[in-house]
Chain A
């Protein structure tokens, strides 16, 4: 009886640890960062996973075998933000909504923090484009600083990203 309850306790602890450790691992990284391109890059599908890097004055997004570059000097604005996403998403997350006794809804309470990087840039004809990336906590500000150092412009001066421990989130309701 005791061993069974111990097993259950260890299982539950592991589940919670798995959900929250990624936040604790947030760190300042150098080199390519794993990101999801939500929308905006020319020739790249929405929600494409890849890596993002800044080198030789270019914002370099690699997804699969293809890559897309945006010149830092063509970037008019770089803005970072904080957001959150479901810890259990995708098909499993969708299927969990059908779980009995509101089990799926309980899973929705567990969310992992992420950061967003929004970039506005102009193409060769002067047309304005916007691209949105999501990435692990602690990485968006690094990329923003590298971009600004290599010629990108930004309207939001200073650190616009709230710390990971902050309760401020875009999902917080605000009516204006």
Chain B
């Protein structure tokens, strides 16, 4: 009888530990930074030659995905309205790596021809203080055109923004 009780106690203890671990992990997550609005700078690719259509697609997809993530005020590069916003966070993006890939190779072989792009994302305050820096990549491995990699990047970058920043009144 004692053995059954002991086993039951151990089982309860293990269950408690496993159930509590995600809760403990959530507590260690860094606090989100307040961002009244976001301003997206045009993607820079000085060192790496990036086709113009990729540059524009990255920029447009990024703005769209940030809007979908719930950031109500997303300003474009050069927008004069952003200058007067207090608590503005500016996203600077610089291309660090680019492999053009081949849609034809993807469709014919499945395993080769992947398009990939790596972009260094730096979130700064309006006075230039760095708040967060992270490399984000975009890939298209199997189906779709090469520009689909820009959509993949935008989704991931918007997720990073959502994980680390909050807009007052949104949450």
User: Interface of A with B (CB < 8 Å)?
Assistant: 38-40, 77, 79, 81, 83-86, 97, 105, 108-109, 111, 116, 118, 120, 122-123, 125-132, 156, 170-176
Which DSSP category, helix, strand, loop or mixed, fits chain B's interface?
mixed
Cα of A128 to Cα of B60 in the assembled complex, Å? 10
The distance from the CB of A130 to the nearest CB of chain B, in whole angstroms, is 3
Considering the complex, give the chain B residue whose CB is closest to the CB of A106.
Answer: B108
Which of chain A's residues has its CB closest to B106's CB?
A: A108
Q: A125 contacts B100, CB within 8 Å?
A: no
Specify the main secondary structure of chain A where it touches its partner: strand
Query: Quick one: given A127-B79, A132-B57, A176-B48, are A108 and B104 in contact (CB under 8 Å)?
Result: yes
Minimum CB–CB distance from A83 to chain B (whole Å) comes to 8
**Can you name 5 A-B pairs with beta carbons within 8 Å?**
A38-B53, A111-B104, A118-B55, A120-B42, A171-B100
| Stretch touching chain A among B2-10, B15-23, B70-78 | B70-78
A176 / chain B contacts, CB cutoff of 8 Å = 48-49, 97-99
Closest CB-CB distance, B52 to chain A, in whole Å?
4
The verdict on A39 contacting B57 (CB below 8 Å), with A77-B52, A81-B52, A127-B79 known, is: yes
Find out whether the CB atom of B107 lies under 8 angstroms from the CB atom of A130: no
Point out the residues of chain B lying under 8 angstroms from A171, CB to CB.
Answer: 100-104, 146
Q: Contact check, B77 vs A116: say whether CB atoms are below 8 A apart.
A: no
A-B contact count (CB 8 A): 94
Report the separation of the CA atoms of residues A141 and B152 in the bound assembly, to the nearest whole angstrom: 30
Cross-chain contact B80 with A38 (CB below 8 angstroms): no
Give which listed residue, B42, B57, B100, contacts A128 with CB less than 8 A.
Answer: B42
Point out the residues of chain B lying under 8 angstroms from A111, CB to CB: 104
**How many angstroms from the CA of A85 to the CA of B102 in the assembled complex?**
11
**Bound Cα distance A122, B80 (Å):** 11
B interface residues, tally (CB under 8 Å): 34
A105 touches B77 (CB 8 A): no
Residues of B that sit less than 8 Å from A by CB:
42, 48-49, 51-53, 55-57, 59-61, 75-81, 97-105, 107-108, 113, 145-147
- Cβ-defined contact, A131 with B103, below 8 A: no
Contact of A130 among B60, B79, B99, B105 (CB under 8 A): B60
Docked-complex contact B76 and A175, CB < 8 angstroms: no
Q: Are B61 and A129 in contact (CB under 8 A)?
A: no
B79 touches A170 (CB 8 A): no
How far, in whole Å, are A66 and B107 apart by their CA atoms in the complex? 35
A127 touches B76 (CB 8 A): yes
Which residue in B49, B56, B76, B113 is a CB contact (below 8 Å) of A132? B56
Q: Which A residues are CB-close (under 8 A) to B56? A: 39-40, 118, 120, 130-132
What's the Cα separation between A40 and B48 when bound, in Å? Answer: 23
A134 nearest in chain B by CB position: B53
